[in-house]
Amino acid sequence: MESRFENEIRILQKLDHPNITVLFDMLKDTVNYYVIMELCSTGTLFDYIIEHRKMPEDDGKYVFKQIMTTLKYMQSEGIAHRDIKPENILIDDKLHIKFIDFGFSDVQIQNHLMRTRCGSSAYASPECLNGGPYNGLISDIWSAGVVLYTMLNGKLPWTKDNLVQLTRQISDAEFFIPTNLSDDVRDLINGMMNADVQKRYTVDQILDHPWLKTVQDPDFTNECHIKKSLGQEEVNSFFSLIPSVSANQIFNKSHLVDLSSIRSDTMHDGRCLLAMAKRRKLTRKRCVVPILTSHRNNLSCAQLL
């Protein structure tokens, strides 16, 4: 748990994209460590699927275009998410999405293959699930394909309940795409969920695919985007103070405070929160919310109102 906590912080520090939750700052007191992150008060894509059963193709195009442009950005930074699933994608009423939970993420070094089995079995690629060496960036494409299938059909492509049989079904890419979906999206899913990594679609092929090519990018011009403040040196300095972070220290929820009195137009970056905390002489109670734990609560947020 400690390594996942530190890994997620280090990965988020590297990323800056409108579809990725923002890490603003980190604080500590004599007992706890806190992470200040962007407030995302919406539900997950998983919640959306449960409520609506499935997503219409036109809406699905808009959502999936964001997923793939975000993946392209992460790949440009050399970051493999390695746990892409509906539970780790937030979605609002405008169908704007945010990637969360980077605890399993890692840097994909060129010509270096990963070996760690991680993520959720139902969304894991065959090469990851089988424990062999794999490219995390290519593996993410498969996972995104399973997400696309799931959000358009309201169910997973797999029919086996037994883990051994499920692993075999995934390894053989044995799934059926309902014929009520368009030919274009059926082709896209098949291209992304190809067990042969050499034949699996790339990010550029996906974004240039007929099903997505004409989809407009979301307009974030009216969205508030607060710049992040943490540099690599500050992150290193923070973790040098932590000899061993316990789960209780990371996830303690007993010191929450309401920041509703802080106006968003005064918020420029995480240092602003820290300065306010010092001015108000906050000790154990900080202007932060601790990092959350469950797959339904993958994001901790400062209340920026």
User: What is the Cα–Cα distance from 206 to 24, expressed in whole angstroms?
Assistant: 32
Q: Which residues are catalytic?
A: 83
Of 179, 205, 204, which Cα lies nearest the Cα of 191?
205
What are the phi and psi torsion angles at 262 (to 5°)? -95, 120
Under 8 Å between Cβ of 23 and 9: yes
The residues, any chain, with a CB within 8 Å of residue 263's CB and separated by 6 or more, are: 305
- Residue 279 main-chain phi, psi, to 5 deg: -65, -35
Query: Exposure of 233 by Cβ count < 10 A (0-12 exposed, 13-18 middle, 19+ buried)?
Result: exposed
Amino acid letter for position 189:
I
CA angle at 151 for the pair 147 and 153, rounded to the nearest 5°: 115
Task: Judge whether 83 and 118 are in contact, CB under 8 Å.
Answer: yes
Please give, one letter per residue, the 3-state secondary structure of 279-299.
HCCCCCCCCCCCCCCCCCCCC
What is the rounded CA–CA span in Å between residue 62 and residue 48? 15
Integer Cα distance of 305 and 295 in angstroms: 25
Helix H or strand E segment including 36: strand 33-37
Burial of 54 (0-12, 13-18, 19+ CB in 10 A): middle
Residue corresponding to tokens 């901790």: 300
The residue type at 15 = L
**Residue 150, helix vs strand vs coil:** helix
